[in-house]
């Protein structure tokens, strides 16, 4: 069974938790307590392959850009912004910069992480502050995938987006494992202990 670790990051109120829960349970929940981080765990089957999936949701993340633990822990990232909130778009851009910086800096991974930029709350297009073309351009600038959707209304699109991310991560896993330094397992255990305080199986 493959283990896949995915971090869903973004500004406060962008819909990170809503997207994760929508994918894992089909349910849409509009309001979440934003004062506690958690990891959702679930066994899924993708393309005939069994996967133990862990999704890290930091809940309230505004102002937090160090990402040190997340960058070591995650195999991939979904960066979420609210199309009706330009500040959340600016925060998403800062997160993308931080992830890119890690790939060319001292803590460079041997294989770059899968990154998907998501413009959420498409159902609020009448309040749009960030254009689709702006999201697409930002994704092109940072060489990541891009899409717009609504966690509230577009269940199938949410599933398609997560599936695309998971397939991309899995395709990278073998190369990543081949090049992973021997000390990384102890580091992974350490980080799992840090992140393991609030786990939710769904």
Task: Please tell me which residue, 31 or 166, carries the higher pLDDT value.
Answer: 166
95-108 residue pLDDT tens: 999 998 876 654 54
Beta bridge partners of 37: none
Pick the most confident of 19-28, 140-149, 189-198: 140-149
Q: What pLDDT score does 113 carry?
A: 80
161: left (phi over 0), alpha (psi -120 to 50) or beta: alpha
Task: Please tell me which residue, 68 or 44, carries the higher pLDDT value.
Answer: 44
How buried is residue 19: exposed, middle or buried, by Cβ count under 10 Å (0-12/13-18/19+)? buried
CA dist., res. 8 & res. 17, Å (int): 8
Whether pLDDT at 184 is above 70: no
114: left (phi over 0), alpha (psi -120 to 50) or beta: beta
60-85 residue pLDDT tens: 555 555 677 778 889 999 999 999 99
**Which 3 state secondary structure label does DSSP give 145?**
strand
pTM exceeds 0.75, yes or no: yes
The Cα angle at residue 4 between residues 181 and 81, in degrees rounded to 5: 110
Whether pLDDT at 110 is above 60: no
Model confidence at 118, pLDDT cuts 50, 70, 90, reads very high
Q: What pLDDT score does 37 carry?
A: 72
Q: Could you please report the per-residue DSSP string of 99-121? A: HHHHHHSTT--SSPPEEEEEEE-
């Amino acid at each position: 069974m493959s283990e896949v670790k995915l971090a869903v990051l973004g500004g406060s109120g962008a819909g990170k938790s809503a997207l994760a829960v929508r994918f894992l349970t089909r349910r849409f929940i509009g309001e979440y307590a934003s004062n506690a981080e958690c990891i959702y765990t679930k066994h899924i089957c993708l393309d005939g392959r069994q996967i133990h999936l862990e999704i890290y949701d930091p809940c309230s993340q505004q102002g937090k850009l160090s990402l040190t633990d997340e960058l070591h822990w995650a195999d991939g990232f979904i960066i979420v912004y609210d199309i009706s909130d330009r500040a959340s778009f600016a925060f998403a851009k800062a997160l993308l910069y931080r992830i890119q910086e890690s790939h060319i800096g001292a803590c460079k991974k041997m294989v770059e992480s899968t990154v998907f930029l998501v413009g959420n709350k498409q159902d609020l297009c009448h309040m749009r502050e960030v254009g689709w073309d702006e999201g697409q351009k930002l994704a092109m600038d940072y060489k990541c995938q891009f899409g717009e959707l609504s966690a509230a209304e577009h269940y199938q699109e949410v599933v398609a987006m997560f599936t695309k991310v998971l397939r991309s991560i899995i395709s990278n896993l073998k190369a990543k494992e081949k090049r992973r330094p021997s000390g990384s397992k102890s580091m992974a255990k350490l980080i799992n202990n840090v992140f393991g305080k609030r786990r939710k199986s769904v």
